[in-house]
Amino acid sequence: MGQLIGALAARLAQLVAMLLAVVLLCFAAMQALPGDKAVQLAVARHGERAGEDGIARASRDGGFDRPVAAQFADWAGQVLRLDLGHSLVSRRPVVDELWPRLRVTLIAGGLSVLLGVLVGVPLGAWAGLRPGGVVDGAVAVAAALFSAVPAFLLGLLLVMLFAIRLGWLPAAGGGTALHWVLPICTLAVGFAAPLARVTRQAVVEAWGAFPVTFGRLKGLSPVRAGLRHGVRNAAIPVVMLTGLRFAAVIEGFAVIETLFNLPGLGDLLVRALVSRDIPTVQAAALLFGLLYGVVGLVLDAACAAIDPRRRLRVHPA
């Protein structure tokens, strides 16, 4: 128990250090963006009607007329007080801007990962139980094909087929459940492909390992021996990939949200970058970093629960 608590404390310390690094790097990146921030912000607020007064007001509101060190000190102080500030465009609290968008992203990303697991794990296990067979070959070809197709291209192909040609589903938007089908399927297919390959390899290695062989020598059937001695070993890489891909799906959802016009966190981040809404961008980046850290903690705990021989190890965040 002491070792477990120490490992968790070390992971939490790494998470805090990572979040501090995210704060610094995100602020530096926003300062390095080309163009006049005050002009971009004024245009986002007023459109083409933004004049000199609008630009000057935007510069004061955003603190762009102050030294960079003073701007960073203000932002860091707000973070330490757990205050993410106000959006420079809508002037609403950033938390109020982030929460409804985050909910959309988490729901869509979670459903995508769930669908990917329900498709990729059974196919990979089926192929792994019969290596060299017809199913194994078909799964390998399909996994290689869909792993190589970028998510935005796959999304466009699905839109052309199911929305434009067949007319079964809406092409974009988030008004009804049908609007969520194409973006979720786009991410799920891209996730199921590598998951099937990892599951297949894990099953082949686990079923060929000594514990399963020993179980069969004791008189257990291949299925019972595998279920009793092979499932846990095969589950570890599958759980690790699922967790890491979930974090990647959440972070990479910006492209899919923009493509399908879903009102999620990624779409908000893109709009905030264009308008130079620095508090919103920095808060979104901080939130993404926190999600990665939490996923890492959950993965360590899950792997330790699956295999008691493993101890909760400290990995880089």
What does each of the 317 residues of the chain score in pLDDT, given as a tens digit? 556 566 667 777 777 787 778 778 877 877 776 666 677 677 666 666 666 777 777 777 677 777 778 777 877 777 777 777 777 777 788 888 888 888 888 888 888 888 988 998 888 888 877 888 888 888 888 888 888 888 788 888 888 888 888 888 887 776 777 888 888 888 888 888 888 888 888 887 776 665 666 566 566 556 566 656 566 667 777 777 777 777 666 666 677 877 888 888 877 887 887 777 778 888 887 887 787 777 777 777 776 676 665 554 444 44
Q: Residues 238, 244, 250, 254: what is their CA dihedral angle, to the nearest 10 degrees?
A: -110
Q: Which residue stretches of 161-277 are H helix? A: 181-207, 210-217, 222-229, 231-260, 265-275
Joined tokens for residue 283: 């808060």
According to the model, what pLDDT value does residue 220 have? 59
Could you give the C-alpha distances from 102 to 18, 179, 180, 291, 312, in angstroms and in order?
Answer: 21, 17, 15, 11, 29
Rg, the chain, Cα only: 24
- Rounded Cα distance between 57 and 38, Å, is 8
pTM for the full model? Answer: 0.73
According to the model, what pLDDT value does residue 315 have? 46
